[in-house]
Amino acid sequence: MKDDELIHLRRCVELATEALEAGDEPFGSVLVGEDGTVLFEDRNRVGGGDHTRHPEFTIARWAAEHLSPGQRATATVYTSGEHCPMCSAAHGWVGLDRIVFVCSAQQLEGWLTEMGVPPAPVRFLPIPEIAPGVRVEGPVPELVDQVRALHRRFHQGAQRAQGRP
C-alpha cells in the first residue's frame, strides 16, 4: 500500500472513530479524485434509525450530483470496511471505479459472529458479486486491527447497555 493511500485509509479510520464516539457504528469513507484531492468524506449516520445512511452510499449520491461521468470513472473510494451490497450497487450505478477497503465484509461478518451480534438483515457479499466492473483492493493488514478494535468497542458497549456481560 502506497503512503498516500494509507493517509486516506487512516482518515477513514478516524471518521469511523468519530462515528463510534457519536454512538454510531464505526464506518468511515473518503472519496478521492484522480489527482489525489479529497473530494468528499463522511461517516456512518444510522444512529437516528435510518439504516441506509452508510458513508459509501452518501458518497455515491454526492458523486452523481457533483462529478462528471469522467471524474467518477477515475475517482477512488477509500473506506474502513468493504461496501455492503446496497453501497456496492450505488457505487456501480453512478459509475465510480476503484475501491480500497481496510477490512473485508467476510472479516467483519466473522468478528460480529464471534461477538454474538445477531445477523444483519442484509447479507454481506463481496463487492465483485454486486458490481463486477469495479476494481477492488483490500484488506489492508496494516490497519485491520484498529478497525476490529472499533467494532469491538461499539458492540461490547451496546451489549453492556442491554445488561449482557
User: At residue 162, what is the residue type?
Assistant: Q
Min separation Cβ 52 and Zn ion, Å: 8
Q: Which of residues 87 and 130 has its CB atom nearest to Zn ion in the complex?
A: 87
Q: Binder to Zn ion among 30, 84, 127, 150 (CB under 5 A)?
A: 84
CA distance 103 to 83: 10
Contact characters 27-66, Zn ion, x per CB under 5 A? ---------------------------x------------
- CA distances in angstroms from 52 to 44, 58, 87, listed in the order given: 9, 9, 9
Q: Which of residues 56 and 97 has its CB atom nearest to Zn ion in the complex?
A: 56
Burial of 9 (0-12, 13-18, 19+ CB in 10 A): buried
Best CA proximity match to 164, nearest among 117, 121, 119, 120: 117
* Interaction of residue 87 with Zn ion, rule CB under 5 A: yes
Q: Which of residues 34 and 93 has its CB atom nearest to Zn ion in the complex?
A: 93
Q: Which of residues 121 and 165 has its CB atom nearest to Zn ion in the complex?
A: 121
Q: Which residues lie below 8 Å from residue 85, measured CB to CB, with a gap of 6+?
A: 122, 123, 124, 125, 130
Min separation Cβ 70 and Zn ion, Å: 25
| Contact residues for Zn ion, defined by CB under 5 A | 54, 84, 86-87
